Amino acid sequence: MKNIILIVVTVFSMVMTACQKKWADHYDVTEGNEVVSPLNLLDYLKSKPEYSTFVSKLVEHGLDKELERDQTLTVWAVPNDKMVELSNLGYDEDYILKYHINNLVFDKTKLKTGLRLMTLNGKYLTIEIDGDDVHVSDGTIVKGNQLCQNGVVHEIDQLLKPDVSIYDYLEDLGDSHSIIRDTILAMNDTIFDPINSIPVGVDRQGNTLYDSVYVISNPIFQRANIMSEFTRVTMFLPSNDVIEDCFENLGVLYDQFGKQFLKADSQIAYTWIKEAVFYNTLVDNYGNEDLTSAYGRLWKPDIQIADPDYMRMSNGRIYNITKLKIPNNVHISMIKQLFHYYEYVPEAERPNLFTSTNITNIVLRNGPTVNFPNLGITGFTYRMLEITGTAGDTRTALDFTAIMLDRNEAGEVGYKIVEVPPGEYNLYMGFESSGHPYMNIYFNDVLVRSGLNVSQSNPWNFDRNTNTTPGVSNHNGWGGLVGTVNVEGDGMASFRIKMEYELGTPIRLRPYHWTLVPTANNY
């Protein structure tokens, strides 16, 4: 009898074990917070009523076959109540659905902040971890780690809209950004791609005929590939209003130091903008440090103002610029004026602008008359001041506020005080180099250089040296380098230059011009 009971118990145990195996073959088993199923991804999703709309769309677009193949995948499943947004995302349904499937298995243990996952539509998903929340692009995992035979399913709280590349975003910009958009797109070149083109025959001359594929090439791609999905790049995006405001400010600045804002100046500014806004890396924590663009341009976040809340792109990010400034050392090649403009200052106003020590006479002199045939200039006469001092134990000096010519609407010539942007400059000057005294030069009461021998023709003879082309046109150069000076303050400022004779030297001086050239530090 005991043997019979033992046999019955053994048979019952075998039946129960077989039932458990069949149960595991067809139903999910929960292990901790995970779901483990022996079903493939498609069968598992079909077994879940809450994903029925998602599954039906996969079937409709033939993507169900992907879930049955001998491959491992990650599926970002969307519940039925969130699928109603599919037609409102502005993309083909097939494109959206492919964005919800990745090759390879990425369970929650593999999901890390900054991870980028290539989807079946060629775009990347970006993972961001915030405490216990796992964000997938704009979605959040609400039921993760549903492990299947050939992959994993993560339920997310919304349909994912694919990010676009920086290039695609730029190409689709409206007229409010037409300046930067058209500037970049004008550099495009469409070229034949032989690698991806399919040979279809040979013509009579023996040339291969192709089912041709063409690709867009742009020199910017060599520095920061804003089109490629495999790069991580950054762009600072200025609107037309920001650029126009920038150029309006440039025009005001040029007027203040006596220079016209010409077409060539605008081209220089456009080139700087184009080369300063692209970076071949992701820019984080905007505003914390200076940046160097993919073209080597310096970008100072304390001057170039941008919205720190960037727009995420499939291959990087875009910051919207709210204030743009062309650096002084880019748009200012030189600020230059002549000493003989003294003659346009009314006699009564001269004491306010020119302070003299031991000077007996200041007169205007004409220097040599020369021709510059390469420039089409003939009969050009150098005109300068002649300053005569008094011999004695006290140094002779002229301390003057920099001025420039100013013509009114009637064409009458007057003067106005020069104002320049603050920053570091190199100061150059020129003289008629003949028997001049040794000089001490001050800038806003700061000694720049002492014992300067300006009687040497090179480089002090007028403006015929430095930044000229010897043998072609030694005209309108910078002159001789005195030294580096600083204009202090936060806004446009006037300045003074003081020329002081060294004791025991000749007491006649004929100054011709001064020039300020921004240094690399002058932003």
317 pLDDT higher than 50: yes
With beta carbons less than 8 A apart as the criterion, state whether 161 and 96 touch. Answer: yes
* Beta-bridge mates of residue 372: 377
Which H or E run contains 311?
strand 311-313
User: Hey, is 191 helix, strand or coil?
Assistant: strand
Sign of CA dihedral 441, 446, 449, 450: positive
Which has the higher per-residue pLDDT, 65 or 192?
A: 65
Contact (CB, 8 A) for 59 and 129: no
- Residue 5 has a pLDDT of 39
Averaged over 486-505, what is the pLDDT? 88
Q: Are 123 and 163 in contact (CB under 8 A)?
A: yes
Residue 339's closest CA among 325, 353, 322?
Answer: 353
Residue 286 token pair = 């905007």
- pLDDT, tens digit (0-9, with 9 covering 90-100), for 359-381: 989 999 999 998 888 888 889 99
Question: What is residue 375's predicted lDDT score, i.e. its pLDDT?
Answer: 83
What are the residues whose beta carbons fall under 8 Å from the beta carbon of 17, sequence distance 6 or more?
none
**Residues 418 and 335 sit within 8 Å (Cβ to Cβ):** yes
Relative to beta strand 189-192, strand 214-217 is antiparallel
Residue 84 is given by DSSP the state G
What pLDDT is stored for residue 162 in this prediction? 93
pLDDT digits (tens, 9 = 90+) for 9-59: 343 344 334 443 443 444 455 555 688 999 999 999 999 999 999 999 999
Token couple for 397: 């000096």
Write the DSSP symbol of residue 159.
P
Q: What percent of the chain has pLDDT over 70?
A: 88
Percent of the chain residues past pLDDT 90, beyond the cut: 72
Task: Kindly tell me the burial class for residue 474, based on how many C-beta atoms sit within 10 Å of its own C-beta (0-12, 13-18, 19 or more).
Answer: middle
Provide the 10 A C-beta neighbour count for residue 50: 14
Query: Would you give the distance in Å from CA 354 to the centre of its chain?
Result: 44
What does the DSSP 8-state code read for residue 68? T
CA distance between the termini of the chain = 103
| Residue recorded with tokens 């007169």 | 363
At residue 54's C-alpha, the angle toward residues 51 and 57, to 5°, is: 145
